[in-house]
Amino acid sequence: MKRVAAILGVVLGAQAGLVQAASEDYTLDPKHTFPSFEADHMGISVWRGKLNSTSGHVALDRAAGTGTVTVTMDLNSVDFGLADLDAWARGKQFFDTEHYPTAEYRGTLTDFVGGSPTRVTGTLTLHGVTRPVDLKLNSFRCIQHPLLKRDYCGADAYAVFDRSEFGLTAGKDYGFRMDVTLRIQVEAVADR
């Protein structure tokens, strides 16, 4: 009986090692990861902007169909293409980056098809408020990076959320719609 238990322990330990070995850690490539957004301007046009500085990590096990993602966005890097609007967005009337310098998305990769996730279930923390925001992955693909010779994955993520749920209500009294379209082009390189 002890021998059977020992053999079982070795087999289970080996299986656990295999499962653990299948998971890979990735670091977001800040030169290829740019969250961008679209927001209403008085019901007459759509303003577009992006965040120029991000960091984060992904843990991915394609065989098991599991993974997690964390993206930290530097709100001081907001870029509408208009310096005055960028300064206003960083100020107390909106992001208030003195008190809330970053936004963070944390999620779980789900709905895998052929080893690739098609959705992320998670939360967005913005302006000191954390709310559920799920991302649809319009595309997800991994290749070997031609220069680094490591696994390199990229995705196109999409979501719509209500900014007033995060306390960002500027323009609401003037009829601005509160929905924001979030798009994240993301690329990440395997840590090993």
Phi/psi for 32 (5° steps) reads -135, 20
CB neighbour list of residue 3: distance below 8 Å, 6 or more residues apart: none
Cα–Cα–Cα angle for 37, 35, 92, nearest 5°? Answer: 65
Q: Residue 118 falls within a domain, yes or no?
A: yes
Confidence of residue 22 (pLDDT cuts 50, 70, 90): confident
Q: Is residue 42 included in any domain, yes or no?
A: yes
CB of 80 closer than 8 Å to CB of 36:
no
CB of 122 closer than 8 Å to CB of 93? no
Is 107 inside a domain boundary?
Answer: yes
Average pLDDT rounded to a whole number, residues 45-65: 96
Higher pLDDT: 7 or 132? It is: 132
- pLDDT tier at 19 (50, 70, 90 boundaries)? very low
Find all residues with CB under 8 Å of 120, minimum gap 6, and list them. 69, 107, 108, 109, 110, 134, 135, 137, 157
Q: How many domains does the chain have?
A: 1
Q: What is the CATH number of the domain that holds 85?
A: 2.40.128.110
What is the model's pTM? 0.85
- Does residue 9 lie within any of the structural domains? no
The reply to whether 126 falls in a domain is: yes
Q: Assign 182 a pLDDT band (cuts: 50, 70, 90).
A: very high
Domain that holds residue 166: 24-190
> Who's near 111: CB < 8 A, 6+ residues apart?
117, 118, 119
The pLDDT of residue 62 is above 50:
yes
